């Protein structure tokens, strides 16, 4: 599906006002997969009688769930954005001891699933179950999304602009507000969007903490009353709420311009070396790393060594291999679906807007909805029902937005003058893509694929519903033991899951990333 689309990269650069039928056809196939869960929801909702649906929509419990969800998303997104931007600014602007180590440790919490994170903190007895605990846990576990986005934005800021602001007499706070923050706005909005969609779709943390958000209510409605029509209505309300969040981010992005240059001409900001500032920043980062990484990992290690039973290494390794296998299938399939959608999203067309917003809406759906949609599909096609391939497809659809977003951003930042020069030299569109566009966009393509891989490893509800009989992943093994209060038995699976998930996390935030990107520019 992707190789013929290589010729369409010129469209992304604005070289051809026409959209190829091949690109449209490929994008429609991708959108067909995206539409599966949404189509299932509408079909299920229409099967219920109007009176029952009216009761579900207007009952007091639905209003309570709506307010809880909205407030939780708002507070967590605000706190994670504030904390993530402060961490990114400290990592980028202050001379820290072993900055690469601090950076890696600040990003690693993204590898810990929310249900593992919650379980670790509940084991300590410090945070009681409830709304406040959900705010703390979700803020700590989602902050790296904002940190990654903010760091990428800070690297593109030219310190020459800051020097000019200093000559005008502006202090550091005013410089941040007038020079730095406006250039970070898009990145912070994108990070806040990821955090918001993560909180909207989270099931593990809110379930363990007893917080009634839409995801927990939908799951309970499906499993408790088997009233799938009512649950579908609640899920559609969640889709509508996600659409509002996405619209806010899109409007913020449209108000800003993207700078693209063919060479790295920006002068990097000189790090702050004041002793007092370095001590405060180091203490701040250490406190976050302690709460978000060291304490959860310490709890897992304590539980691991406190096991009363010996470890079944065969079962543990089998679950690990199953996790890697099915997550890799999901990541590869997501890449194939994402490329045509990312190319189309770059165009200011109706279909491009539908493609971009559609994948974001699906990203906010709870895994149980995806599971039920593909169970309904698989029941009509016995050959794919309860197969590893179907589970991989579920992962790719659930997390497609993370691949589309990074690929679209990478393609949009490919310098136009380089592709134009290559075209004047008589290079074909395919050769331009392979020799110019692909080397520059490759880091973003890889990042998107790794994000899908990482998210797939941690996915639980869809895995529980769609996995083949006898097929266990690290997430399902951990959840099965935790559900019957066998916390020590669950520890090896949770610990190995975090270790494996840390590999793509490190590759996403690796310290040499800037060097690799700059070398790729020089070689071109």
pLDDT tens-digit series, residues 61-85: 889 999 999 999 999 999 999 999 9
Residue 139's pLDDT is 95
372 shares a domain with 290: no
pLDDT at 520: 35
Of 271, 304, 337, the residue at which a domain comes to its end is 304
The number of CA neighbours under 13 Å toward the Cβ of 367 is 24
- Give the domain CATH number at 508: 1.10.3720.10
For the segment 28-35, the average pLDDT, to the nearest whole number, is 88
Number of domains in the chain: 2
What is residue 445's predicted lDDT score, i.e. its pLDDT?
82
The pLDDT value recorded for residue 188 is 86
Q: Which domain holds residue 227?
A: 48-257+280-304
Residue 219 in this model has a pLDDT that exceeds 60 = yes
Q: With 50 as the cut, is the pLDDT of residue 2 above it?
A: no
Residues 4 and 127 placed together within one structural domain of the fold: no
Q: Token digits for 238?
A: 């969640």
Q: What is the pLDDT of residues 294-323, one digit of tens each?
A: 998 888 888 888 777 788 888 899 999 999
pLDDT at 225: 62
Does the pLDDT of residue 106 top 50, yes or no?
Answer: yes
pLDDT at position 8 is: 42
Instruction: Name the residue among 454, 491, 459 with its Cα closest to residue 475.
Output: 459
Quick check: is 490 in a domain? Answer: yes
Which span out of 5-9, 200-204, 352-356, 472-476 was modeled with the highest average pLDDT?
A: 472-476
Task: Categorize the per-residue pLDDT at 485 as very low, low, confident or very high, splitting at 50, 70 and 90.
Answer: low
Which residues are bridge partners to 467 per DSSP?
A: none
169 vs 336, residue with greater confidence: 336
Greater confidence (206 vs 422) lies with: 206
Instruction: Tell me whether residue 367 is in a domain.
Output: yes
pLDDT given for residue 50 in this prediction:
79
Determine the average pLDDT of the residues in 340-367: 78
In a domain, 265, yes or no: no
The answer to whether residues 114 and 202 touch, using CB atoms and an 8 Å cutoff, is yes
Token pair 């009176």 in the structure block, residue:
51
Q: Rounded to an integer, what distance in angstroms lies between the CA atom of residue 348 and that of residue 356?
A: 11
Q: What is the pLDDT of residue 238?
A: 86
Domain boundary among 243, 271, 304: 304
- pLDDT for position 10: 41
Write down the pLDDT at residue 25. Answer: 85
- Residue 524 predicted with pLDDT over 60: no
Distance CA 413, CA 388 (A): 36
Residue 484 vs residue 41, higher pLDDT:
41
Give the pLDDT confidence score for residue 68 in this predicted structure.
95
Query: Using one digit for the tens of pLDDT, what is the confidence trace for 265-286?
Result: 445 567 778 889 899 999 999 9
- Tens digits of per-residue pLDDT, 147-200? 988 887 777 776 666 667 667 767 666 777 777 777 778 788 888 888 998 898
Q: How far apart are CA 477 and CA 325, in angstroms?
A: 16
pLDDT value of residue 235: 84
Q: Note the Cα 397 to chain centre separation in Å.
A: 13
CA angle 409/414/419 to nearest 5° reads 145
**Does the pLDDT at position 480 exceed 50?**
yes
Residue linked to tokens 């000019």: 164
Q: Is 275 exposed, middle or buried (0-12, 13-18, 19+ CB in 10 A)?
A: exposed
Lowest mean pLDDT across 144-148, 198-202, 369-373, 449-453 = 369-373
Residue 139 CB partners (closer than 8 Å, separation 6+): 75, 76, 79, 80, 83
| pLDDT tens-place string over residues 375-402 | 877 777 878 888 899 999 999 998 988 8
Angle value at C-alpha 456, between 454 and 457, nearest 5 degrees: 70
pLDDT attached to residue 142? 93
Alpha-carbon distance of 319 to 521, in angstroms, equals 41
Token code pair at residue 332: 């590869």
Mean pLDDT across the stretch 47-52?
77
Cβ–Cβ < 8 Å for 466, 371: yes
% of the chain with per-residue pLDDT over 70: 80
Check whether 414 has a pLDDT greater than 60: yes
Weakest mean pLDDT among 26-35, 132-141, 315-324? 26-35
- CB-neighbour burial class of residue 63 (10 A; exposed 0-12, middle 13-18, buried 19+): exposed
Query: What is the mean predicted confidence (pLDDT) over 508-520?
Result: 48
Phi, psi dihedral angles at 94 (to 5 degrees): -120, 135
Contact at 8 Å (CB) between 466 and 208?
no
pLDDT value at residue 35: 86
Nearest CA to 429 out of 22, 13, 28 is that of: 13
Residues 355 and 391 placed together within one structural domain of the fold: yes
pLDDT at position 262 over 50: no
How is residue 478 written in tokens? 């951990």
Sign of CA dihedral 96, 101, 107, 110: negative
The Cα 82–Cα 104 span in angstroms is 19
Alpha carbons 139 and 147: distance in angstroms, whole number: 12
Cβ neighbours around 396 below 10 Å, total: 25
For 413, the 3-state DSSP assignment is: coil
Tell whether 354 and 299 lie within a shared domain. no
Residue 176 within any structural domain of the chain: yes
Residue 426: pLDDT over 70: no
Same-domain check for residues 246 and 290? yes
Rounded to whole angstroms, how far apart are CA atoms 66 and 62?
6
> Within a domain: residue 446?
yes
Question: What is the per-residue pLDDT across 449-465, written as a single tens digit (0 to 9) for each?
Answer: 888 998 899 888 888 88
Q: Residues, the chain, total?
A: 524
- Predicted pLDDT of residue 41: 82
Cβ density class 159-176: b for 16+ within 10 Å, e for less: eebbeebeeeebeeeebb
Is pLDDT at 428 greater than 70 in this prediction?
no
Average pLDDT score over the chain? 79
Name, in order, each residue with C-beta under 8 angstroms of 68's C-beta and a sequence gap of 6 or more: 131, 211, 212, 213
Q: 286 near 292, Cβ under 8 Å? A: no
Same-domain pairing of 433 and 523? yes
pLDDT (mean) for 325-329: 94
Instruction: Please report whether residue 273 resides in a domain.
Output: no
Residue 272's SS3 state is strand
* Within-domain flag for 186: yes
518 in the same domain as 502: yes
Q: For residues 229 and 316, state if they share a domain.
A: no
What pLDDT does residue 495 have?
Answer: 87
**Residue 168 Cα distances to 161, 165, 216, 389, angstroms:** 11, 5, 53, 61
Mean pLDDT, residues 399-407 taken together: 83
267 occurs within a structural domain: no
Same domain, 78 and 25: no
Q: Which two tokens stand for residue 275?
A: 């002793």
Question: What average pLDDT does range 114-138 have in this prediction?
Answer: 84
Q: How confident is the model at residue 364 (pLDDT cuts 50, 70, 90)?
A: confident
Same domain, 26 and 97: no
Residue 519 pLDDT more than 70? no
170/257: higher pLDDT: 170
d(CA 363, CA 125): 32
Longest CA–CA span in the chain (Å) reads 71
Do 84 and 24 lie in one domain? The reply is no
Pair 25, 65 in one domain? no
Question: Would you place residue 9 in the very low, low, confident or very high pLDDT band (cuts 50, 70, 90)?
Answer: very low
């Amino acid at each position: 599906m992707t190789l013929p689309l290589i010729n369409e990269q010129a469209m992304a650069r604005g070289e051809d006002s026409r959209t190829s039928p091949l690109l449209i056809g490929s994008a429609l196939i991708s959108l067909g997969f995206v539409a599966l869960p949404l189509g299932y929801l509408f079909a299920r909702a229409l099967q219920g009688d109007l009176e029952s649906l009216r009761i579900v929509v207007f009952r007091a419990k639905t209003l309570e769930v709506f307010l809880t969800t909205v407030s939780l998303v708002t507070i967590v997104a605000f706190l994670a954005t504030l904390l993530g931007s402060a961490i990114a600014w400290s990592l980028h602007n202050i001379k820290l001891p072993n900055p690469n180590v601090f950076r890696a440790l600040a990003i690693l919490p993204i590898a810990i699933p929310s249900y593992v994170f919650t379980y670790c903190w509940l084991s300590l007895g410090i945070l009681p179950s409830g709304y406040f605990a959900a705010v703390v846990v979700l803020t700590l576990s989602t902050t790296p999304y904002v940190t990654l986005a903010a760091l990428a934005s800070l690297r593109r800021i030219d310190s020459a602009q800051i020097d000019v602001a200093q000559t005008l007499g502006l202090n550091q706070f005013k410089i941040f507000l007038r020079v730095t923050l406006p250039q970070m706005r898009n990145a912070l909005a994108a990070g806040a969007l990821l955090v918001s969609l993560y909180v909207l779709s989270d099931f593990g943390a809110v379930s363990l903490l007893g917080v009634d958000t839409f995801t927990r209510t939908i799951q309970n409605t499906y499993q408790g009353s088997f009233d799938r029509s009512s649950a579908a209505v609640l899920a559609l309300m969640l889709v509508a709420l996600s659409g509002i969040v996405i619209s806010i981010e899109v409007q913020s992005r449209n108000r800003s311009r993207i700078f693209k240059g063919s060479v790295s001409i920006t002068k990097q900001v000189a790090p702050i070396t004041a002793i007092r500032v370095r001590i405060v920043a180091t203490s701040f980062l250490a406190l976050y790393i302690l709460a978000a990484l060291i304490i959860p990992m310490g709890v897992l290690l304590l539980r691991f060594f406190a096991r009363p039973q010996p470890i079944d290494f065969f079962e543990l390794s089998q679950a690990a291999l199953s996790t890697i296998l099915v997550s890799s299938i999901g990541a590869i399939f997501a890449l194939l679906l994402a490329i045509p959608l990312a190319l189309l999203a770059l165009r200011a067309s109706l279909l491009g807007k539908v493609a971009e917003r559609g994948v974001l809406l699906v990203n906010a759906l709870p895994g149980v909805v995806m599971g039920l949609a593909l169970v309904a599909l698989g029941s009509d096609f016995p050959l794919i029902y309860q197969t590893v391939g179907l589970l991989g497809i579920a992962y790719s659809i659930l997390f497609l937005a993370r691949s589309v977003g990074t690929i679209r951003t990478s393609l949009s930042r490919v310098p136009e003058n380089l592709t134009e020069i290559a075209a004047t030299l008589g290079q074909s569109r395919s050769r331009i893509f392979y020799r110019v566009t692909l080397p520059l966009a490759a880091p973003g393509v890889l990042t998107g694929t790794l994000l899908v891989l990482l998210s797939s490893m941690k996915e639980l509800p869809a895995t529980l519903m769609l996995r083949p009989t006898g097929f266990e992943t690290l997430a399902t093994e951990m959840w099965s033991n935790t559900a019957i209060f066998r916390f020590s038995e669950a520890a090896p699976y949770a610990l190995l899951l975090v270790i494996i998930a840390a590999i793509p996390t490190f590759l996403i935030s690796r310290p040499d990333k800037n060097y690799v990107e700059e070398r790729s520019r020089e070689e071109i």
